[in-house]
A and B are shown apart, each in its own frame.
Chain A
Amino acid sequence: DSGVTQTPKHLITATGQRVTLRCSPRSGDLSVYWYQQSLDQGLQFLIQYYNGEERAKGNILERFSAQQFPDLHSELNLSSLELGDSALYFCASSVAVGLAGEEQYFGPGTRLTVT
């Protein structure tokens, strides 16, 4: 158990809908990262938040947004969902800003299925 929790574990929704994925980092970790894992794209970095502020951005679509709250938990919002958004979404956390050598601890993931 990494100490990172994600809810829900599974989510099934229809195209065009909006969903929110939630992540609680390890106790004491200030950074939260979001990743998308699909069969054809592998593990893709979406976005990082550090202590409530956006720190780095990856291949995140404009339909997706995230935020980190004062208690350091994070939410990933996915809107206008398309079939291609079906994937595993992982949250990871690290103790500080995420410099080289700083381990990221991954949560168990949320499996999103868009029908």
Chain B
Amino acid sequence: GENVEQHPSTLSVQEGDSAVIKCTYSDSASNYFPWYKQELGKGPQLIIDIRSNVGEKKDQRIAVTLNKTAKHFSLHITETQPEDSAVYFCAARYDKVIFGPGTSLSVIP
């Protein structure tokens, strides 16, 4: 069945450093790849997304890249800040959204 893998499961970085989270998906028909941030006690919130006809998208300190051939996509956060600490989920969508297992990011001041 459809599956999304995500690595690493936990990530600690120093404030100001970059963080990279990588995902792979199994369904080649997937055409939309959102990333969600979930803070403690809250629901997931969309932070950036990319469609299958685009290779890269950037929004201030956040960027996402997509390699459709390899079925890989990645989230890049630059100049990390303590408020970036949260759980991040990648997802792939064709007819329904399949989420990765999540990455717990800790930014150490």
Physical interaction between A and B:
yes
Q: Is B108 an interface residue (CB 8 A)?
A: no
In the complex the two chains form, is A101's CB within 8 Å of B44's CB?
Answer: no
Tell me, in angstroms, the Cα distance from A41 to B43 when the chains sit together.
16
Q: How many A-B contacts if CB must be within 8 Å?
A: 50
Q: Is A49 an interface residue (CB 8 A)?
A: no
In the complex the two chains form, is A108's CB within 8 Å of B102's CB?
Answer: no
Of all chain B residues, the one with the shortest Cβ separation from A103 is B46
Tell me, in angstroms, the Cα distance from A4 to B42 when the chains sit together.
12
Tell me, in angstroms, the Cα distance from A103 to B51 when the chains sit together.
12
State the A residues within 8 Å of B (CB): 2, 4, 33, 42-45, 48, 56, 58, 90, 92, 100-101, 103-109
Given A48-B96, A104-B97, 20 further pairs, Cβ under 8 A: A2-B43, A4-B43, A42-B99, A42-B100, A42-B101, A43-B99, A43-B102, A45-B97, A56-B95, A56-B96, A92-B43, A100-B51, A100-B52, A103-B34, A105-B46, A106-B43, A106-B44, A107-B43, A108-B41, A109-B42
